[in-house]
Amino acid sequence: MNKRQIQARLIEQGLSFRQFALSKGYEPRTVTQTVERWAGSETLPNGRIAFSVMRDLSTQIGVELIPGLLDHPFAKAC
């Protein structure tokens, strides 16, 4: 799923990247940069914040954005 598809799913819920970021305690720019970098990727993010952003976005829109993201042990620990 690419950045625009993720954005469309958030808009369907009445949210923007900025609103999502602020509701979850992230900096808005961090969310947009993370999505630009990791959307459509086949590998998991190495950083805690990037991993958390992608995990929370996956949960919010109901789609696993990176294969294996929600099954990873850290996805449940955070």
Query: Could you tell me the two tokens for 1?
Result: 């799923």
Chain segment 18-77, per-residue pLDDT in tens: 999 999 999 999 999 999 999 999 999 989 999 999 999 999 999 999 888 888 777 675
* Integer Cα distance of 17 and 30 in angstroms: 10
Q: What pLDDT score was predicted for residue 77?
A: 59
Contacts of residue 25, Cβ cutoff 8 Å, sequence gap at least 6 = none
Q: What pLDDT score was predicted for residue 53?
A: 97
Full residue range of the structural domain in which residue 72 is found: 3-77
Q: What pLDDT score was predicted for residue 78?
A: 54
**Total count of domains within the chain:** 1
pTM: 0.89
